[in-house]
Amino acid sequence: MNLKSLWILVLACVATTLSAQKKPLDQSAYDGWKSIVSPKVSENGDWICYAITPQRGDALLEFYNAGTKQTTRIERGGSPAWFNNDTWATFKIAVPFAKVRQAKIDKVKADKMPKDTFAVMNLAEMKVVKLPGAKELKTSAKGALYAYTYEVTPVKDTTVKDSAAKGNKTPGKYDRLVVVDVRTGDSTVVDSVKNFTVAENGRSVLYTREADSLKAVYVYTVDPKRGVLQRELWSSKLGAVSPSLVLDRSGEQGAFLVTADTVKHALYDLYYFSTTDLKPRQVADAQIIGLPGGYAVSRFGNLSFNHEGNRLQFGIAPKPKEVPKDTLPADEKFSLDVWSYRDTMLMPTQLVNKKKIEEASYPAVYFPKENRAVALGDKDLPSVSFAENGDAPYAIGTTRLPYSLYTEPEIQMFDPSDSYLIELKTGKRTLLRKKGYGGMYLSPSAKYAAYYNLPDSSWYSIDTKTLKHTRLTADIPYPLYNVDDDHPGTPPLYGMYGWTKGDEMMLIPDQFDLWLVDPSGKKASRNLTKIGRETNTQFKFVNQSRTEGKSAVDMTRPMMFLSFNRGNKENGYYTLRPGQAIQKLVEGPYIYAIAGFARKGDRLIYTRENFNEFRDLWTSNERFGDSLKLTNANPQQADYKWGSVELFKWTDFNGNECEGLLHFPEDYDPSKPYPTIVYFYEVQTFLKYRYNTPSPSRSIINPVYCTSNDYIVFIPDIKYRDGFPAKSCYDVVVSGTMALIDRGIADKNRIGLQGQSWGGYQTAHLVTQTDLYACSAPGAAVTNMISAYGGIRYESGFSRASQYETGQSRIGATPWQRRDLYIENSPVFFADRVKTPQLLRHDDNDGAVPWTQSIEYYIALRRLGKPVWLLNYNGEPHNLASRAASMDWDKRMYQFFDHYLKGAPMPRWMKEGISVTEKGIDQKYELVTE
């Protein structure tokens, strides 16, 4: 043996020894595994903050000074934000986790539970000021004010004798508002405050008060000449004040909604004021141009100023109808829903959205200088979208109502609609497009509207002055729709990334590259990135607008692009400087993600991750130079066996080249086959470099938990054929599994299946077509496409029909058009063929897939005497929401796989079941040894 061979042998032995010293992941590891939460960088790049948060336990908030490279740590800190031009910060200090948990055990009432503490900090001095008892804290991003409220409980006057105190009630609890100016340290206190808001520049605070039955609106403003002023703007002993309060960015204008009515459906009045004269004026209905008959100001509408502050947007709605007085006893009432074929919205959708429907409003705009308001939308034109920040002279109005009576809008991937150009100053509507499919996009200055035309697969522009339609992208030789989409019907677009300054150009992507398109149609389209197709790299534009409130792209500055290589799945960032070719900044076997950049400085914060590297936070300049790792959130990972991931390629039964992800244990021995779990959900190879955080499962297996426990995990990509989703899955998954067996990777007798939702359906169906798998665990699966087609998505109220006609289930027809396909693709009709033990999971509050789908399958399998278990977590949704339920499912799912794939003893819950009298008392996790 030569020296080189000896060293290789020694290194191999050392690696094996180190691996043997590591422990496999188990549930005890989950609680302490941390995440990076709320990363932020200040405008000038001097400060970076972030919270390091465990799954259960106390967080750590850190402030990093990029100049001094010093870090300040706040125990249990979180929810950070900057204010006063990023020279101060706010955050919360949480109650210790153990204290909160004990209070829950002690069944402390919600209003008595220990509360988090707000705090502010001067970044120059790193001095923390805690605000004990603060209920709400608001700051001014550009100004020096912060304001907060806390509850005050009046103390009874014990010096007054009881006889004298009769009739003098002790005042109830109220909220006190404190406004603080950090420049001077001065504070102003106001009692009995209900709601408040702070202007972005810190000049003004608008607030409402309720005391002694008096409702009032006040403004606190700092005037450069007059100093601090406080003025009452409105008051009444009757009625109410809406919580909708708004100030413009400068703090020089504001608006509020009030009513003096006491009826349930009171009409509200809109008031506008300026801090110049502090004299509010009412925006009366008579002043609103184009206000439809029977409409009034809505208290539910969006109340906001545009970026320039010369317009105030508010809402209008039909005046509410008074409900007749209830004069019937309970036993003479009934409740009825009428489902009509003439409904433009399904009754279940109406029921889910009842509050939204009742509070629906339509945009109107008020011009303070002219003291004039204009109605823009109404029930016939319900959707109105503004150009960026509402500063442009036009808006786009859209309606689908003419086409929604006899159709299910959600069945269409592109809904037909009529689009109108709305002139904001007059409310004039001009039809732009009749029965168009897809959206209409207004340029930032509203010189153009743009849309995609399905018949010729091209983008068009509309000149808003001449109304001329111009075809723009006929000279782009590649499709602008998603060529990889395999759903029936029209594929979705790659989209539009926006506009350049002055509305000069549009940014439109194809599959790989980004094109600069002239909306006037005079200049030829130009490929900006150029190298995407030849390098098999997809580029996505990253907007780094430097102008506050403006997203238009400045072509005189470097542009940034996120890259993804479709071949090796590597990820990175590129830059394109004016007059130069695109250049790589960083790229490699990671997933990179920018978490923020300094708008007025040369600094980025970003994360990078791969299967073995946690997504810690890094900082660098905008060229990814001088990169510095800021966090090391999970050093304990070194104590655990982990694994690796590779691309796996094979040929399916139809001769097609396929690929998937193959995850190996850390100490993988290629000389022996391993127990294997196959998981799938459409296409997953783009996630090759994703870090899988050890955590309880909400629905699916965790690849790293499996590799740490000596499983192989196989995740194949599936391409579908219309009408044959089950066969498409079979051809890819089974051929891939057999390739693993043929190459000695998977043990042919110890292979399991697992999937959730769409993957759960295919998992349930596969075992009706093959006996290749030793066990299967489908979650939230559709098992009968005929009954599911006529079902409802209870979370949204939508019909499930679109799922099959044009959506994920990919049948491409109705049951009466292709009854055969609905049967062929439904597992329940082939339950008699199943020989594979199955663990079903479907929760009774599933809003996406009715849990009766798994009941149908369970009943059929049980009737046939097949080994099957069904887990129903009461009250849980499509994917488990509560950590307790996730921990339980995580444990039972892996016990199920360990039994059938590793020969571990069966747990008692599988052997004995859990009866209704044992529910919640005996979980029966113990393994049965015979």
Q: Which pLDDT tens digit goes with each residue over 808-833?
A: 999 999 999 999 999 999 999 999 99
Higher confidence at residue 411 or residue 706? 706
Mean pLDDT of the chain: 93
Q: What is the pLDDT of residues 176-214, one digit of tens each?
A: 999 999 999 999 999 999 999 999 998 999 999 998 889
pLDDT greater than 60 at residue 786: yes
pLDDT of residue 437: 87
CATH class of 27-154+172-276: mainly beta
pLDDT greater than 70 at residue 5: no
pLDDT greater than 90 at residue 121: yes
Q: What is the pLDDT of residues 615-671, one digit of tens each?
A: 999 999 999 999 999 999 999 999 999 999 999 999 999 999 999 999 999 999 999
Ranges 56-70, 383-397, 559-573: which has the least confidence = 383-397
Give the model's confidence band at 6: pLDDT under 50 very low, under 70 low, under 90 confident, else very high.
very low
pLDDT of residue 724: 97
Measure Cα distances from 806 to 401, 756, 763, 781 in Å: 21, 20, 21, 19
| Cβ atoms within 10 Å, residue 432 | 20
Cα-based torsion angle of the residue sequence 693, 699, 700, 706 in order, rounded to the nearest 10 degrees? 60
pLDDT greater than 60 at residue 104: yes
pLDDT greater than 90 at residue 157: no
Helices (H), 144-186: 162-165
d(CA 300, CA 33): 42
d(CA 745, CA 714): 10
Ranges 382-391, 461-470, 865-874: which has the least confidence = 382-391
CATH 3.40.50.1820 domain residues, the chain:
641-783+825-912
Is 380-589 a CATH 2.140.10.30 domain? yes
Measure Cα distances from 82 to 90, 242, 550 in Å: 6, 28, 20
Structure tokens at 465: 């002055």
Contact 876, 845 (CB under 8 A): yes
pLDDT of residue 716: 98
Structure tokens at 321: 């109808």
pLDDT of residue 546: 62
pLDDT greater than 80 at residue 246: yes
Give the model's confidence band at 20: pLDDT under 50 very low, under 70 low, under 90 confident, else very high.
low
Mean pLDDT over residues 83-95, rounded? Answer: 95
Beta-carbon contacts of residue 217 (< 8 Å; ≥ 6 apart): 206, 207, 208, 209, 232, 233, 234, 235, 241, 245, 256, 258, 271
Structure tokens at 609: 């991750």
Core vs surface per residue 498-515: b (16+ CB within 10 A) or e = bbbbebbbbbbbbbbbbb
Beta-carbon contacts of residue 112 (< 8 Å; ≥ 6 apart): none
pLDDT of residue 11: 44
d(CA 536, CA 372): 56
d(CA 166, CA 810): 76
d(CA 801, CA 787): 10
The two most distant CA atoms of the chain are separated, in Å, by: 107
Contact 764, 726 (CB under 8 A): no
Q: If DSSP codes are grouped into helix, strand and coil, which group holds residue 398?
A: strand
Question: Which neighbouring-strand residues pair with 193?
Answer: 209
pLDDT greater than 70 at residue 588: yes
pLDDT greater than 50 at residue 411: no
CATH 2.120.10 domain residues, the chain:
27-154+172-276
Say how far residue 254 (Cα) sits from the centre of its chain. 31
603 burial level (CB within 10 Å; 0-12, 13-18, 19+): buried
383 burial level (CB within 10 Å; 0-12, 13-18, 19+): middle
Contact 77, 59 (CB under 8 A): yes
pLDDT of residue 524: 97
Give the residue from 263, 208, 219, 211 showing the smallest Cα distance to 239.
Answer: 263
Amino acid residing at 265: H
Higher confidence at residue 437 or residue 684? 684
CATH class of 641-783+825-912: alpha beta
| Cβ atoms within 10 Å, residue 123 | 19
Higher confidence at residue 289 or residue 59? 59
Backbone angles phi, psi at 618, to 5 degrees: -125, 160
pLDDT of residue 392: 93
pLDDT greater than 60 at residue 692: yes
Measure Cα distances from 246 to 196, 221, 257, 272, 567 in Å: 9, 14, 10, 10, 51
Mean pLDDT over residues 390-415, rounded? Answer: 75
Structure tokens at 686: 């783009």
pLDDT of residue 490: 86
pLDDT of residue 14: 47
Q: What is the pLDDT of residues 880-921, one digit of tens each?
A: 999 999 999 999 999 999 999 999 999 999 999 999 999 999
| Helix pair 758-766, 725-742: axis angle to 10 deg | 70
Give the residue from 358, 355, 344 showing the smallest Cα distance to 406.
Answer: 344
Q: What percent of the chain has pLDDT over 90?
A: 84
pLDDT of residue 362: 97
CATH 2.140.10.30 domain residues, the chain:
380-589
pLDDT greater than 80 at residue 168: no
Give the model's confidence band at 160: pLDDT under 50 very low, under 70 low, under 90 confident, else very high.
low
Most confident of 226-230, 259-263, 713-717: 713-717
Give the model's confidence band at 169: pLDDT under 50 very low, under 70 low, under 90 confident, else very high.
low
| DSSP one-letter code for 831 | G
pLDDT of residue 285: 82
d(CA 85, CA 66): 17
Q: Which helix (H) or strand (E) holds 16?
A: helix 3-21
pLDDT of residue 316: 96
pLDDT greater than 50 at residue 342: yes
pTM of this prediction?
A: 0.93
d(CA 604, CA 134): 33
